[in-house]
Chain A
């Protein structure tokens, strides 16, 4: 088992490497001259040339990449010119907030999605199935940024149950209870779409599995229906759902961009939106790189879980 996990880990390295190339190329493709952008259009040509030298922009693309990746390995992602602090510091600080939000959402959507999917499949065509199918359909068609606004209106403005924005209360607070209080609305909003996708898929996977010959065998053995469904069918269905949960991780981390903006959550998504508007490209670069790497690692985790579940993959 350890051998296979190690193999998967090694296989993730070229993917991470490829990510750095893409991120680097995207930023290198930016039209216009970064030095001019930083110094403004009134800069003297000498100053521009000097800054270009300082930034290493007079070298070939390949040399620039080697230097960039060398710095990256040493934890140097450059300096944000709008915040005037190292990109790495800012990105890591923001990323922890994003991780709390999207991690919670991912757990929520997995649990809720699997549960809803199983109930839907077991009670196929019953009222529970119809209700879940409808909720799922609504869920995956709702713009999450709009849903967030609605929830703020209902639960923060009218009912005053939850705060409308932020991660901690400004005065006092700062403990776990305060965090959960602030986390509830954004985490729920963020998980809604992924819950729908996972529930849909679980339903299909369960229905698919319940028609298999080995389920007939389980019944022919005289097992109880609950064992047939929750042990035999669910395990087989889970193998198909786990990779999708891995993919949904990407949608959850990505969707955090909207939710963080709506709820003013101090995460990497809201940072990215600001950085794009202010053309702070080094910050964008750092943010994209860390989120994309996290996504690769999430998928790796899903791979490992799938390998543990399915002996045929070993």
Chain B
């Protein structure tokens, strides 16, 4: 969770570099507002002895219960004629001091316990955490009350009580992080270097848990201010003549009906104080908790946004095709940079045909596939151009209602990891039935029968039993069969399979491939099969399109491509596949990494990794040169047959 705060940030192009921590904080309007209000309150409290205020404890029975805005008493006076403004500022001083001290004490002891428990582990950990659990078994305020009951009412005792009941929060959070850190390499290294456990704990681990301590402090300090005020309100904290905001409120309560301002004013101050602390604390947490940094927790809407220029949308060119995609461009806008995940992709599929879309991770294969039915998360993704036609129908112009009918109907998906793609809290039967009834309004028993039929279709033994199972009770292969069954629920014409066998072991992989091939032949469905593995391609696909950095770099029939790759990238990908009975063959990983798609180079995107690169490759756009009806390559210097890469 704190990964990103722990490692030094990677060097990034100047354009996308993140603003500084303070800059981030000031960008957050709410946090800045909180900081300003908090700053003003703190300044007032600090400057209390310097301000021209009357003595907060000086009573003047003649001036009692004066309303706010009277001469000489801006906020009026209380039942003893004491100036409320002066009492408010002095009371704030006490409340702030008590709240902050309680936080400091809780943070110190809680962090110490957490560090000890997390680092020492075993018995020490068990004993400390059992103790913490016991303390947490009490309602928070009740425990503070019990402690005050023992120590006796008083401000200092209230402070101890509040600090004590907050120790578990720190101990728990810090322990979790410490536990993770103490297994990391840098701790092992320090240990091998002969550092003593206290040195490791305080010099190596402590600096790394500091952000968590600060987050916990920022989220608890508001509570502690509030709770100490609460104890004083009940008469268990500050004792007269000493006054904090809580005890002022408690005294004012007795004359609530006759002089409400005496209790409203200190309450407002507590509210402003706690609110500004919370606002500021939220800001700090957002910055230190990288998960929330780039607004990653945005809710994807039901369908990918389409923002293309309708005037120059490409018209379908192949009337015989079941599905045709022309010039698809899908982009992600993250922060100020635009990631062109798909930069103009053309694909076409006939009935019953299987097209393999091949490429490394990050080449844009999955995004291409998700774009078809608008499943790319928006925000941050959007379709920026191109068109997709299913039997001549423009999918990007179709209504939401129509897309919903097509999803799981004519076009269905099988995804990569069957554990995360099935809902963990519904049974296989419930999920299958749902897929059926979303498109075919059958009765309960009919739906049930159909679900059973589908499970047998994908060769799941004991289908009736399996319907009642939850996904986690099935093996990986069984789960993927369930996913395929779901995809087949409504006679799909186009099945989009996104690395359906990657998460499975080799035997199961071949079973699934055989199954998909049989189903394709039985039902005449077209399959868009996405993979990074040419071995899988050769087993199933009629044709292949190779993708790199968001574009198709080579396309052709499977046989042609495998025997005679023309693009150096394709050749490298094929070299990655081990061949049975040829142990002498070199198995190379492709050197280098694909380019980042928000910063694509001019010319060929593969130039940096290409063994045959020429200067001319780096300038100007390179077109997909068609060398036959099904064959094309995006390379200025295509390989000739038999050439060694």
> Residues on A close to B: CB < 8 A?
15, 18-19, 22-23, 26-27, 29-30, 121-122, 124-125, 137-138, 140-143, 145-146, 149-150, 152-153, 157, 204, 206-208, 210-214, 216-225, 227-228, 232, 235-236, 239, 249-251, 253-255, 257-258, 261-262, 272-273, 275-277, 281, 284, 288, 291-292, 295-296, 299, 309-312
Complex Cα gap A291–B141 (Å) = 11
Beyond A19-B137, A137-B279, A214-B422, is A288–B145 a contact (Cβ under 8 Å)?
A: yes
Chain B residues near A277 (CB, 8 Å)?
153, 235-236
Could you count the A-B residue pairs with CB atoms below 8 Å apart for me: how many are there?
216
Question: Residue on B with the closest CB to A295?
Answer: B139
Question: Residue on A with the closest CB to B404?
Answer: A222
Indicate if the CB atoms of A143 and B267 lie closer than 8 Å. yes
Q: B249-287: which residues lie under 8 A (CB-CB) from chain A? A: 249, 253, 256-257, 260, 263-264, 267, 270-271, 274-275, 278-279
Apart from A143-B249, A250-B138, what are 4 other A-B pairs with CB-CB below 8 Å?
A: A146-B270, A219-B302, A222-B438, A310-B425
Across the interface, A254 reaches (CB within 8 A) one of B139, B226, B257, namely: B139
Beyond A143-B274, A312-B472, is A250–B413 a contact (Cβ under 8 Å)?
A: no
Complex Cα gap A222–B440 (Å) = 11
Complex Cα gap A277–B472 (Å) = 56
Complex Cα gap A272–B236 (Å) = 11
Indicate if the CB atoms of A295 and B409 lie closer than 8 Å. no
Question: Residue on B with the closest CB to A200?
Answer: B282
Indicate if the CB atoms of A150 and B267 lie closer than 8 Å. yes
Across the interface, A216 reaches (CB within 8 A) one of B236, B260, B421, namely: B421
Indicate if the CB atoms of A207 and B298 lie closer than 8 Å. yes
Complex Cα gap A157–B259 (Å) = 12
Indicate if the CB atoms of A254 and B141 lie closer than 8 Å. yes
Indicate if the CB atoms of A142 and B271 lie closer than 8 Å. yes
Complex Cα gap A311–B412 (Å) = 28
> Residues on B close to A: CB < 8 A?
133-135, 137-142, 145-150, 153, 222, 226, 229-230, 233-236, 249, 253, 256-257, 260, 263-264, 267, 270-271, 274-275, 278-279, 297-300, 302, 373, 375, 377, 404-409, 412-413, 415, 417, 420-426, 434-435, 438-439, 470, 472, 483, 486, 489
Indicate if the CB atoms of B149 and A296 lie closer than 8 Å. no
Complex Cα gap A212–B415 (Å) = 13
Chain B residues near A296 (CB, 8 Å)?
137
Indicate if the CB atoms of B421 and A217 lie closer than 8 Å. yes
Indicate if the CB atoms of A157 and B257 lie closer than 8 Å. yes
Chain B residues near A124 (CB, 8 Å)?
298-299
Complex Cα gap A212–B419 (Å) = 11
- 9 A-B pairs in the complex with CB atoms less than 8 angstroms apart: A23-B146, A26-B150, A142-B271, A146-B270, A214-B422, A216-B421, A275-B149, A276-B236, A288-B142
Q: A142 to nearest B CB, angstroms?
A: 6
Complex Cα gap A221–B299 (Å) = 19
Question: Residue on B with the closest CB to A21?
Answer: B134
Indicate if the CB atoms of B137 and A210 lie closer than 8 Å. no
Beyond A141-B278, A239-B425, A253-B139, is A276–B148 a contact (Cβ under 8 Å)?
A: yes
Complex Cα gap A277–B231 (Å) = 12
Across the interface, A261 reaches (CB within 8 A) one of B153, B234, B256, namely: B234
Chain A residues near B278 (CB, 8 Å)?
137, 140-141
Indicate if the CB atoms of B140 and A251 lie closer than 8 Å. yes
Beyond A22-B134, A26-B147, A220-B375, is A121–B139 a contact (Cβ under 8 Å)?
A: no
Chain A residues near B230 (CB, 8 Å)?
143, 145, 258
Indicate if the CB atoms of B145 and A257 lie closer than 8 Å. yes
Across the interface, B233 reaches (CB within 8 A) one of A19, A145, A208, A221, namely: A145
Across the interface, A121 reaches (CB within 8 A) one of B150, B253, B299, namely: B299
Q: A140 to nearest B CB, angstroms?
A: 7
Chain B residues near A217 (CB, 8 Å)?
413, 415, 421-423, 483, 486
Indicate if the CB atoms of A214 and B423 lie closer than 8 Å. yes
Q: Which of A122, A219, A299 is packed against the most chain B CB atoms within 10 Å? A: A219
Q: Which of A146, A257, A281 is packed against the most chain B CB atoms within 10 Å? A: A146
Question: Residue on B with the closest CB to A291?
Answer: B142
Indicate if the CB atoms of B141 and A257 lie closer than 8 Å. yes
Across the interface, B140 reaches (CB within 8 A) one of A210, A221, A239, A250, namely: A250
Indicate if the CB atoms of B300 and A211 lie closer than 8 Å. yes
